[in-house]
């Protein structure tokens, strides 16, 4: 494959590369992840339903249209808050990862669900200080059946953005982690707010 010459400022798809990033620079950042995994003897469907007590499931296409029409950032933030669930989150994607497991004849299938949820305002409060935080928000919540137990895993955003050293973004990440973990702990114990 031909290498771009020194004057080439196009990205992979012809998009311009920001002037502050040399075309050939590559950075590596090691990130220590704090994964919290909860276990419960509650039924999978009950746990999943309780996780969704804090996460709204809006029509994102319609919401994005309304958000784009907001006359101010304050109006935008209010609309996002109104579209969010009690934990301040909305579902962006629900993946039934167990579908592939059921197709594999060499394993005993089990339930496995990944929820990608977040809040655009919370994300912007972090990424305005640390653009890399956009790789971690929205967040992933992973639930799986493990014999008689259901496990719920969450990688804390605070652990993921700590290497970037910005206390403002870290404070927002800690708030987000608290909201998510409170929701997950309630789902694990069956004390989720309805």
Strand 89-96 with 55-56, pairing: parallel
Do the domain assignments include residue 17? Answer: no
Task: Note down the domain range covering 178.
Answer: 35-189
Do the domain assignments include residue 65? Answer: yes
pTM (2 d.p.): 0.83
Do the domain assignments include residue 19? Answer: no
Average pLDDT, the chain: 87
Do the domain assignments include residue 136? Answer: yes
Number of domains making up the chain? 1
* pLDDT tens by residue, 45-98: 999 999 999 999 999 989 988 999 999 999 999 999 999 999 999 999 999 999
Do the domain assignments include residue 125? Answer: yes
Query: Which CATH number do you get for residue 47?
Result: 3.30.310.70
Residue 59: burial class (beta carbons within 10 Å; 0-12, 13-18, 19+)? exposed
């Amino acid at each position: 494959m031909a290498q771009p010459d020194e004057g080439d400022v196009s990205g992979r798809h012809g998009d311009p590369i920001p002037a502050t990033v040399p075309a050939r620079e590559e950075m590596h950042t090691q990130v220590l992840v704090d994964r919290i995994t909860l276990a419960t003897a509650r039924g999978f469907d009950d746990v999943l339903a309780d996780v969704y007590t804090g996460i709204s499931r809006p029509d994102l296409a319609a919401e994005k249209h309304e958000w784009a029409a907001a006359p101010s950032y304050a109006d935008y933030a209010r609309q996002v808050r109104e579209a969010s669930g009690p934990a301040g989150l909305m579902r962006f994607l629900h993946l039934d990862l167990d579908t592939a497991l059921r197709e594999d004849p060499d394993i005993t299938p089990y339930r496995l669900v990944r929820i990608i949820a977040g809040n655009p305002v919370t994300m912007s409060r972090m990424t305005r200080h640390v653009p890399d935080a956009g790789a971690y928000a929205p967040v992933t919540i992973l639930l799986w059946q493990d014999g008689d137990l259901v496990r719920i895993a969450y990688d804390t955003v605070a652990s993921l953005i700590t290497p970037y050293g910005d206390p403002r973004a870290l404070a927002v990440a800690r708030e987000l982690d608290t909201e998510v973990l409170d929701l997950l702990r309630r789902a694990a114990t069956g004390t989720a707010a309805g």
